[in-house]
Each structure stands twice: as C-alpha cells, then as structure tokens.
Amino acid sequence: MNLTEQQIATYHTEGFLIIPQCLTHNEIELLSKELPMTIDRDSPRIVLEDNGAVRSVFAPHFVNETYLKLSKLKRFVQPSEQLIGNSLYLHQYKINTKKGLKGDWWEWHQDFPYWHYDDGIKEPDLVNVMIYLQDTDSSNGALMLIPKSHQIGIAKFADKTNASTSRAAKYSDHLKKNDYASSLNSDIKFTVDHDLLKSLASQNGIFTASGTRGTVVFFHSNLFHASNVNLTPFDRDAVLITYNSTANLPESVSYPRPDYLSGKDYCPITDLQSSLL
Ligand code: 6CS
Ligand code: FE
C-alpha cells in the first residue's frame, strides 16, 4: 500500500493519518485469538494497572510469530518509509490492552521525549502505527489527538515534581534503579504543560480518532495524544508499532533501557509480509 502525495502532506501537516479497514476480518480475528499467548504475567514485558489488569504487553514479537509478521506487514512498513523518508527498524512494539472497566487513562503526552531522554534518540524521525483490534470510540478510550501539535517539537512539561532543576535530568534517576514505571504507568513523568495544552487545544481543537476494528492510525512521535479510561465492559486492545529511521540510531545513554522497551536490532526491516494469514 503506497500513500498518495496528499496523504503524505496531510500527515506532515496534521501529525496523523487514519486508514480505515487496513486489516481484514480474518487477520484481526487471528491477532485477537493470539493476544493472550503474548502475555506471561511474570515477565518484565508485561505492565500492570494499579488494579492488576494488564495495561501493556511489550515486545509481543519476542514470543509470537503472528505479532512478528504484523510488524513486517508491507501495509505498515512501506507507508512508514514514505513518511520518514528512510529505511526503518523496530524501536518499540506494544499492545496497550485497555481492559473493560479496568483500563486506565494515558495523560496528555508526546512519545518522543521518552525516546529522546530515556533511549538517546536524537531526532523525532519515528512513526507510530496504531491498530485497533475492536471498534473504538470515546466510550472505550479511543486515541485523542491535538492536530498539528507535533509542529512545536518537544513541549514544555507539566511540573509534577515542582522541581526547579531540569525535569528530564531529574527523572533520569528513575532509570538507575531500572524503574521504568514512570514512563509506562497511568502517572507518566513527561506530560504536557496544561497552559500549553489549553492554548493548542483552543487553536486546533481536540480530535478523537474513532474507528472500527482494523483501523490504523499513523501518528508523529511529537503529536500530543491521550486516551481515557475504558468505561465499557469490553476490552479495547490497541497494537502500537514504532518504527525509527536507521539514520537516527540511539546515542549512548547512562542507563540503557532493555530491548523490549528500546529495540536493539538496528537492521532495516526485511522479508516484508503481504498478509498475516
Ligand atoms: O517510555 C516509553 O517508551 C513509552 N511511554 C509513553 C508514555 N509513551 C511512549 C512509550 O510507549
Ligand atoms: Fe504515547
């Protein structure tokens, strides 16, 4: 699947691009059937909500062939190469399982600050590919976005610590103890300053990326985004694949995060797949 010039322009202006029905019914059925096989609750790859429900499953491709093939689908890699303008490798891969009545929120944030400060990636030349495995809307925690917000680069952070020092430097301490929770839980460390959020939301509005199962949202690593709790009794599983340019490899950081959070296979993605089946 190749994007048109118009679609590429839309992505660079708005910061996101939605492709409905990007996966077939049978492909989605297979992903849903195999999702439980990616979960080993004793593994550090699994992040839990405070209430014990699974919040995220990192690196499902480490343990499951179908999810490995998903990360190599032509339908994702080729458009992402067009958007980034370079060959790509897999930087991060997770399933954010927002369980029925238990799945918590994601506060307004950008992804790139985590990949810049925690993983040492210099430029925001990464793209997120988000796939809905169920019909998703505002009732069960669809992705909320502020269009064009990626254009300002790394935003001013909300001050959660009323620290006078630079927050990023302060928070790197968390990495010393292999404590990644403040990047992955429902109280994440780098969130957007509320005055800035209000100003951009007033200018550009807040868009809720609703879509039927199989919808794919490509979005920029600096785009402001959030998602609400899941108030329905039904699960809302979203797969997020993050590709990084092979010309933008991480520089060394004091406390490197493990490979399930920050991919270490920097080879360009090959053996592209046409289908999951
Ligand atoms: O730390 C990370 O890599 C993860 N944390 C957030 C809040 N978004 C990006 C990524 O999934
Ligand atoms: Fe995010």
Q: Is the CB of 191 under 6 A from ligand 1?
A: no
What's the CA gap between 5 and 53, in Å, rounded? 42
- Give residue 168 CA to ligand 1 midpoint distance, Å: 14
Q: State the pairing for strand pair 54-58/126-132.
A: unpaired
pLDDT over threshold 80, residue 98: yes
CATH of residue 181: 2.60.120.620
What tokens were used for 116? 């810049």
| pLDDT given at position 160 | 83
Q: How many residues does this entry show for the chain?
A: 277
- Give residue 117 CA to ligand 1 midpoint distance, Å: 11
What tokens were used for 151? 């254009």
- Give residue 111 CA to ligand 1 midpoint distance, Å: 6
Q: Which atom of ligand 1 is nearest to the CA of 114?
A: 1
In a domain, 262, yes or no: no
Q: Is the CB of 38 under 6 A from ligand 1?
A: no
Q: 179-229, pLDDT tens digit by residue?
A: 899 999 999 999 999 999 999 999 999 999 999 999 999 999 999 999 999
Task: Give the percent of the chain with pLDDT over 90.
Answer: 90
In a domain, 59, yes or no: yes
In a domain, 271, yes or no: no
In a domain, 121, yes or no: yes
Whether the Cβ atoms of residue 22 and residue 131 lie closer than 8 Å to each other: yes
What's the CA gap between 136 and 147, in Å, rounded? 19
In a domain, 257, yes or no: no
pLDDT over threshold 50, residue 163: no
Q: Is the CB of 188 under 6 A from ligand 1?
A: yes
In a domain, 277, yes or no: no
In a domain, 167, yes or no: yes
| pLDDT given at position 136 | 98
Q: 109-121, pLDDT tens digit by residue?
A: 999 999 999 999 9
Neighbours of 74 (CB within 10 A): 13
pLDDT over threshold 90, residue 165: no
- Please tell me the residue having the least CA distance from ligand 1 atom 8: 111
Total count of domains within the chain: 1
Higher pLDDT, 166 or 60: 60
Question: Residue 11 is which amino acid?
Answer: Y
- Give residue 228 CA to ligand 2 midpoint distance, Å: 12
- Please tell me the residue having the least CA distance from ligand 1 atom 9: 111
Query: Which residues contact residue 246 at a Cβ distance below 8 angstroms, ignoring those fewer than 6 apart?
Result: 86, 87, 88, 89, 266, 267, 268
In a domain, 213, yes or no: yes
Supply the range of the domain harboring residue 17. Answer: 5-245
Q: How far is CA 18 from CA 93, 100, 200, 218, 257, in A?
A: 19, 24, 21, 6, 30
C-alpha closest to that of 64 among 87, 49, 89, 43: 43
